[in-house]
Structure 1
Amino acid sequence: MNSIRKLLGQRIRTLREQSGWTQEQLAERADLHPNYIGQIERGLKNVSLDNIHKLAVGLRINLSQLFNFDDQELPAASSRIVQMLQQCSNEDLDFLMQHIEHLLDWKQK
Structure 2
Amino acid sequence: MLISIRKLFGQRIRTLREQYGWTQEQLAERADLHPNYIGQIERGLKNVSLDNIHKLAIGLRMNLSQLFTFDNHELPAPSSRITQMLQHCSEEDLEFLMQHIEHLLKWRQK
Fold agreement, TM-score > 0.5: yes
Letter of the 1:61 partner, please give it.
M
Look up the match of 1:4.
5
Gaps of 5+ in 2: 76-110
Letter of the 1:54 partner, please give it.
K
Letter of the 2:48 partner, please give it.
V
- What is the identity percentage for the equivalent residue pairs of Structure 1 and Structure 2? 88
Look up the match of 1:29.
30
Distance 1:36 1:48 in 2: 12
Give the superposition deviation at 1:49: 0.2
- Count of aligned positions: 74
Q: Supply the RMSD in Å over aligned alpha carbons.
A: 1.5
Gaps of 5+ in 1: 75-109
The answer (yes or no) to whether the contact 1:30–1:55 under 8 Å persists in 2 is yes
Look up the match of 1:42.
43
The answer (yes or no) to whether the contact 1:2–1:73 under 8 Å persists in 2 is no
Distance 2:30 2:24 in 1: 10
Give the superposition deviation at 1:62: 1.0
Deviations 1:54-102 (A, max 9, x none): 000000011100000125767xxxxxxxxxxxxxxxxxxxxxxxxxxxx
Which structure: larger Rg? 2
Distance 1:58 1:73 in 2: 21
Distance 2:19 2:73 in 1: 21
Letter of the 1:37 partner, please give it.
I
Q: Runs in 1 of length 4+ with deviation above 4 angstroms? A: 71-74
